Amino acid sequence: MRFKKGLTGLALAALLLGVAGCSNGLYKAGTYTGTGQGKDGPVKVQVTVDKNKIKQVKVLSIHDNQVLSAEATKKITKEIVADQTTKVDVVSGATHSSNGIIDGAKKALKKAGATDAQLNKAAKKQAVKPKSTHTDVAVVGAGAAGTAAALAARQQGVNVVLMEKTASPMGAGTLAGGMFAADSAQQKAQHKTVSKKWLYDKYLDASQGYMNGVLVRRIIDQSGPTVDWLNKNGADMKLVDAGTGGSYAHQGDPATLHGYQKGGTVAIKTLIKNYRHAGGKVYFGTPAQKLLTNKRHQVVGVVVKQANGAKLTVHAKKVIIATGGYGGNQKMLNRYLGKPNTKGQVLQNKGDGIKMAWSAGAGKEGLDTTHYFWETYTNAGVKKMTQRVGDKYFALDTFTAFPNLRVNTQGQRFSDETDATLYARRGAEIAAQPKQTEYVIFDKSMLNKIKAKGTVAIEDQYGKWKHNPQSFMEFNEPSDTKTSIKQENTPTDFAPLLNKLTGTGVVFKSDSIDGLARQMGISQTAFQKSVTQYNGAIKQGKDTQFFANPKRLIKVKTGPYYAIKYVARNLGTLGGVRINDQIQATKTDGTAIPNLYVAGADAGGMYGKIYVDFEGGTLGFAYTSGRLAGLNAATSIKHN
């Protein structure tokens, strides 16, 4: 009994001593670091505290997209200090970065002695009164489509209010490389106009007829004038040859792509700047909540929530919805795409605008259309890889661009590997596989060739432009043929990186084909059959299974053998609301919904189930449909 009392006394003393350590304040004064997980790697955060206060939060390193993470870094660090808690809202559009910063700050504060109650206490918010305003046109969404709509309408002399849920422009239009056109001024000057029949047939082939032909034709006709208008307003787009941005299989196609020269973020911010200079109003951090309708079921405005929490009612004669689809809404993805599926790249796109349009009576169209494009890695795989090599794992993207053997989780070869850089179609093919997964298979021989001469030893993908360099910006980063030519001619030893990443569930290695199958967890029999058939096609000079050009296929002959696991990459959804060629939302029977327009990825009718296979299709529709919506809404107001 005395022994137990002694233990109790010691425990109590230890507890009192621990409390005494922080008894004079909330924290142990000092500077601490913590690490969270962002989208593309670890996020290292530094926190400085005194006894009673968080004095500074600083992000030391982050590997996520610079544009998205910059907004999260600015807002999250500021709010943690201002509210003295880590229970702050994430930045819409930069969810992963926000959570990484918050988690890193929490871990740092834990080292400083913070309790869970301190970290999760709710910040005190001042009550704010609801407000209302009146305008001619209200635009919901400040991506490519919404910004174009707002600027086009304002230039027609009507009053416009533009509202965006994120803290700054960060939609798909900021990440894209450029837009298509048929007959822009640049195309005419360079004698590179594109056959409108060729473009129409591309849409028809991709949709297999499941498209609004009248709408498609109008967008094609207006694509050239839209590029010219965007350049006039500072978007800075330049015509570049097909295939210059990595889609090597498009080399030789008509030049449709007008690539961003300063990046999508700069372009859209410039358009918004010009819109403001023209007298337009903009509200960021302002998500829309519902449409206003009158007794006659006509749309007469929109209700939004401002950044300070205040309800803002915008009474408007016309409303244009352009909120970017539902790629970030898991429930909608499950319902309309089925399982499995992959979330879109822009997570703030939750289908808000689509659901608002439906509530006003709009019909549904194109709900199962998704922009699967290229391939990526599972979130679990990214986390494990970044823990080992940081952002160096990006180098694995190199192996997506060559006609190596590719098999699914059943060990089966499933398509023509020489079409690997027809990224739209390839993305759809991967999405159709079990678990939306493929493995790219290669051997030591291929690695040795790259180590000796660079990837040009496998295929010369960019040499065509040695004396005719091409450049533009994609994902707000340079994409130019000079750099690509230098990279493909640079000897690179991938073996050390691959060896470091084995065991992550992404990279697999074995001295035998059967051993590789065991590592991958797939059927040894099926995999061996695929390898044998694939190598046999090369030897015989004829692929009887998927009709690939055997001269381009790459043998799998010399161990050790490698496999990299990729999953389908979804840029976002491409439909939801039925519209007509005037970009008006319509009922199922085609009757226009009074005063409501829907543009960009919220609108259905441009595609069948997959994205069109030429350069600049999605952004082209976004900007052109947005511009037309703004013009049509303004014209309707002025004529009434």
CA distance 15 to 220: 73
Instruction: Give the Cα separation of 631 and 621 in Å (integer).
Output: 15
Phi/psi for 167 (5° steps) reads -70, -20
Q: What is the pLDDT of residue 81?
A: 92
What are the beta bridge partners of residue 578? none
What does pLDDT average to in each consecutive run of 10 residues of the chain (640 residues)?
Answer: 39 40 76 90 93 94 81 90 89 83 94 88 78 97 98 98 91 92 98 98 93 98 98 97 88 95 96 98 95 94 90 97 97 95 90 98 96 93 92 95 98 96 92 97 98 97 94 91 96 98 98 98 98 98 97 97 97 97 97 97 94 92 98 94
* Residue 23 pLDDT: 52
Q: What is the pLDDT of residue 594?
A: 95
CB 156 within 8 A of CB 631: yes
Residue 1 burial (CB count, 10 A): 5
Longest dimension (CA), the chain: 98
Whether 630 contacts 152, CB under 8 Å: yes
C-alpha distances out from residue 351 to 325, 506, 557, Å: 5, 32, 48
Residues 164, 286 contacting (CB under 8 angstroms): yes
Cα–Cα distance, 550 to 571 (Å, whole number): 31
Three-state secondary structure string covering 461-530: CCHHHCCCCCEEEECCEEEEHHHHHHHHCCCCCCHHHHHHHECCCCEEEECCHHHHHHHHCCCHHHHHHH
The span from the CA of 40 to the CA of 386, in Å, is 7
pLDDT at site 22? 53
**Residue 554's closest CA among 392, 420, 357?**
420
pLDDT confidence of residue 24: 66
pLDDT at 467: 95
Cβ-contact 32, 111 below 8 angstroms: yes
pLDDT reported for residue 550:
97
Tell the burial category of 5 from Cβ atoms under 10 Å away from its Cβ (0-12, 13-18, 19+). exposed
Structure tokens at 278: 């023209």
How much is the pLDDT for 13?
A: 41
Tokens of 322: 């352009």
For the stretch 127-153, what's the b/e string if a residue is b when 16 or more beta carbons lie within 10 angstroms of its beta carbon?
Answer: eeeeeeeebbbbbbbbbbbbbbbbbbb
Sign of CA dihedral 429, 432, 436, 442: negative
